[in-house]
Amino acid sequence: MKKYLAIASILLVAPLLSAQQAPSLDALKQEALVETDKMQTFTQQMVDQIFSYSELGFQEFETSKYVTGIVEKNGFEIEKGIAGIPTAWVATYGSGKPVIAFITDEDCIPRASQKPGVAYHDPLIEGAPGHGEGHNSGMAVNVTAALVLKKQMDKYHLAGTIKIFPGIAEELVATKAFYVRAGYFKDVDIVLGTHVGDEFSTSYSTGKGIWSGVVSVQYFFHGKAAHAAFAPWDGRSALDAVELMDVAWDFNREHLRLSQRSHRVIINGGEQPNVVPSEAAVWYYFRELDYPHIKSLYELGNTIADSAAKSTGTTVDHKLVGSAWPPFYNKVIAEVQQKNIEAVGMPTWTDADQTLAKAVQKEIGKNATGLKEKIEPLSAPAEHLNGGASDDVGDISWNVPMVYLFYPANIPELPGHSWVNAIAMATPIAHKGSTAGAKVQAMTALDFLLKPELVRQAWDYFRNVQTKQAKYESFLSPDDKPAIELNTEKMQKFLPQLKKLYFDPSKYKTYLEQLGITYPTVRANP
Ligand SMILES: [Zn+2]
């Protein structure tokens, strides 16, 4: 009897034994580091390829085709066109809990075209879009990490699901609230976002959030056309209404909180001076630190638009084209991630990397401090925020515990959203920074895949700290639709020229090589 019991218990234990053959968490992380290093050429090619596509928000057709092609070939299941956005998608691998989602942006900046590795303004195509935010590197980070994890999940039969999402039109803060509304984060346990930075860092929130939230609104005024000299009294100028709205908004600024940021561009100012403009439009970003204040700025904008229309005998309607809650980052995940950042360490920069960085800093009138060499410590967030940039991952962060990893793939002290920020983004600086980011992304995912108690702790922070103070409410009304028409014309204009410059990794090792650029190219007397 004893003998039978012994055999029976061996049989019962046998499947467990094969699962136990998976190495320890530390050994898995070590293996992930080695595997990520082996993929350096793959990571570099992705960074360079997406840099060469240079696609604006909602126009990420080549980029999305390229990235989904890679992950699909590697066994991920793809759903395309999610949340009514043609260039959006989600890739899924594995099964069961926990569900860990990677997210990063892939769109670029208008007029930011720039030759990589050249330390002064030298556009690849004059006036064309370019990766002047460095969003070309994030997918290289996330896909590299996801493929490393996939290999380990297969090898050791690890339970859990990896999802990859693209940040479509992040520069327009225009999609993630729609992903949330469509339910794509309902079954997700942990979100690991990545974003290009000039430092290796993560952060967490204790108050309302980090940075600002925003609504992005376009106001369309409608007047009456007439000959501007022969019968101006028969016309009603929509441009007058736009200008009046802008003046009224500026008079209001004095009475707004210091933490607000609001800015505008006139997207339609009429056709020619001798025609009273019957149509004109202005596009505002209203930023504040929390939902009630963002909402009240938005309502003030609507009131001012209505009164500008009344004062000019025109009419107005508006369209919400983007919105974002102030991002809130989870302390539990940030602490886990920080340890991984410290384990990976900063990339090793060469003299060439530092020469480029210093020449760029000098070119724009900053101190030539070069690239950072040290890891930032994880510190408590500032008590008082003064407002600043926004990111539409904010909406996700109020639905699922998340953090943002900043990996060191760009030069410090840059202005952001400009050609300057594109210089390093297809050079060894971006390549090495992306590999470092992929390592942390893979290691942090392993922590949460293998330790269910960490997932519980992250949710505990989400429920008992974060959402105790504020409850998520979308800025979107049920009628709001993604503004997928944005940037169509701008992109079409440059597409034929851009296509000629797409990176061809079958012929060249790097994009710098394809372009024939000496690295680094700096002024003779920088
Ligand atoms: Zn960004």
**Which CATH number covers residue 261?**
3.30.70.360
Instruction: State in Å: Cα 170 to ligand 1 middle.
Output: 7
Say yes or no to pLDDT of 324 above 50.
yes
C-alpha radius of gyration, the chain, whole number = 25
Cβ partners under 8 Å of residue 471, min gap 6 = none
Cβ partners under 8 Å of residue 8, min gap 6 = none
Which residue reads 């007047």 in tokens? Answer: 223
What percentage of the chain carries pLDDT values higher than 90?
91
258 within domain boundaries: yes
Task: Tell me the C-alpha distance between 293 and 297, whole Å.
Answer: 6
Instruction: State in Å: Cα 353 to ligand 1 middle.
Output: 22
Domain shared by 176 and 282, yes or no? no
Segment 224-276, tens digit of pLDDT? 999 999 999 999 999 999 999 999 999 999 999 999 999 999 999 999 999 99
Q: Are 315 and 219 in contact (CB under 8 A)?
A: no
Domain shared by 451 and 346, yes or no? yes
Say yes or no to pLDDT of 208 above 90.
no
- The last residue of one of the domains, among 473, 495, 513, is 473
Give the pair of three-digit tokens for residue 490.
């701008």
Instruction: State in Å: Cα 392 to ligand 1 middle.
Output: 10
CA-nearest of 427, 420, 410, 435 to 519 is 427
Domain shared by 440 and 342, yes or no? yes
Domain shared by 149 and 293, yes or no? no
- Domains: count for the chain: 2
What percentage of the chain carries pLDDT values higher than 70?
96
In degrees, rounded to 5, the angle at the alpha carbon of residue 51 between the alpha carbons of residues 118 and 506 is 100
Beta strands 279-288 and 213-222 are antiparallel
Q: Summarize the confidence of residues 403-412 as an average pLDDT.
A: 98
Instruction: State in Å: Cα 189 to ligand 1 middle.
Output: 23
432 within domain boundaries: yes
Instruction: State in Å: Cα 134 to ligand 1 middle.
Output: 7
Q: Are 428 and 519 in contact (CB under 8 A)?
A: yes
| Consecutive H or E run containing 105 | strand 99-105
Instruction: State in Å: Cα 284 to ligand 1 middle.
Output: 19
Instruction: State in Å: Cα 281 to ligand 1 middle.
Output: 26
Q: Which sign does the torsion angle of CA 450, 453, 456, 457 carry?
A: negative
Instruction: State in Å: Cα 405 to ligand 1 middle.
Output: 12
Helix (H, G, I), strand (E, B) or coil at 102: strand
Q: How far is CA 104 from the centre of its chain?
A: 5
359 within domain boundaries: yes
User: 79: which strand partners?
Assistant: 90
Give the pair of three-digit tokens for residue 99.
């569900």
Instruction: State in Å: Cα 106 to ligand 1 middle.
Output: 9
Residue 331 belongs to domain spanning: 24-206+326-473
SS (H, E, C) 44-55: HHHHHHHHHHCC
- The last residue of one of the domains, among 446, 473, 500, is 473
Instruction: State in Å: Cα 325 to ligand 1 middle.
Output: 15
Task: Tell me the C-alpha distance between 223 and 312, whole Å.
Answer: 8
Beta strands 99-105 and 190-197 are parallel
Domain shared by 357 and 393, yes or no? yes
250 within domain boundaries: yes
Domain shared by 201 and 224, yes or no? no
Task: Tell me the C-alpha distance between 115 and 424, whole Å.
Answer: 9
Domain shared by 466 and 367, yes or no? yes
pLDDT at 211: 85
503 within domain boundaries: no
Domain shared by 166 and 110, yes or no? yes
Domain shared by 234 and 246, yes or no? yes
Task: Tell me the C-alpha distance between 295 and 474, whole Å.
Answer: 11
Say yes or no to pLDDT of 19 above 80.
no
Helices (H), 39-124: 40-53, 61-73
Exposure string over 385-424, b if 16+ CB within 10 A, otherwise e: bebeebbbbbbbbbbbbbbbbbbbbbbbbbeeebbbbbbb
Domain shared by 350 and 314, yes or no? no
Instruction: State in Å: Cα 53 to ligand 1 middle.
Output: 17
CA-nearest of 245, 247, 250, 176 to 213 is 176
Instruction: State in Å: Cα 473 to ligand 1 middle.
Output: 23
How confident is the prediction for the chain on average, in pLDDT? Answer: 94
Instruction: State in Å: Cα 377 to ligand 1 middle.
Output: 22
pLDDT at 2: 43
Model confidence band, residue 15 (pLDDT cutoffs 50, 70, 90):
very low
Say yes or no to pLDDT of 13 above 70.
no
Instruction: State in Å: Cα 138 to ligand 1 middle.
Output: 9
Q: What is the DSSP letter of 423?
A: G
pLDDT at 526: 54
Domain shared by 340 and 385, yes or no? yes
Q: Rounded to the nearest 5°, which phi and psi values hold at 79?
A: -115, 125
Task: Tell me the C-alpha distance between 430 and 374, whole Å.
Answer: 17
pLDDT at 517: 98
pLDDT at 207: 75
Instruction: State in Å: Cα 249 to ligand 1 middle.
Output: 27
Task: Tell me the C-alpha distance between 312 and 243, whole Å.
Answer: 10
pLDDT at 305: 98
| Consecutive H or E run containing 77 | strand 77-80
Give the pair of three-digit tokens for residue 273.
């001076």
Q: What is the DSSP letter of 463?
A: I
Q: What is the DSSP letter of 98?
A: P
Helices (H), 206-321: 238-253, 291-312
Instruction: State in Å: Cα 436 to ligand 1 middle.
Output: 18
Beta strands 402-408 and 190-197 are parallel
| Consecutive H or E run containing 82 | none
Cβ partners under 8 Å of residue 210, min gap 6 = 203, 326, 327, 328, 329, 381, 385
pLDDT at 50: 98
488 within domain boundaries: no
Instruction: State in Å: Cα 204 to ligand 1 middle.
Output: 18
Instruction: State in Å: Cα 273 to ligand 1 middle.
Output: 38
504 within domain boundaries: no
Give the pair of three-digit tokens for residue 401.
């515990």
223 within domain boundaries: yes
Domain shared by 340 and 303, yes or no? no
- The last residue of one of the domains, among 299, 323, 347, is 323
Instruction: State in Å: Cα 178 to ligand 1 middle.
Output: 18
Please state which of the ranges 298-312, 372-386, 512-526 shows the lowest mean pLDDT.
Answer: 372-386
**Which CATH number covers residue 64?**
3.40.630.10
pLDDT at 14: 43
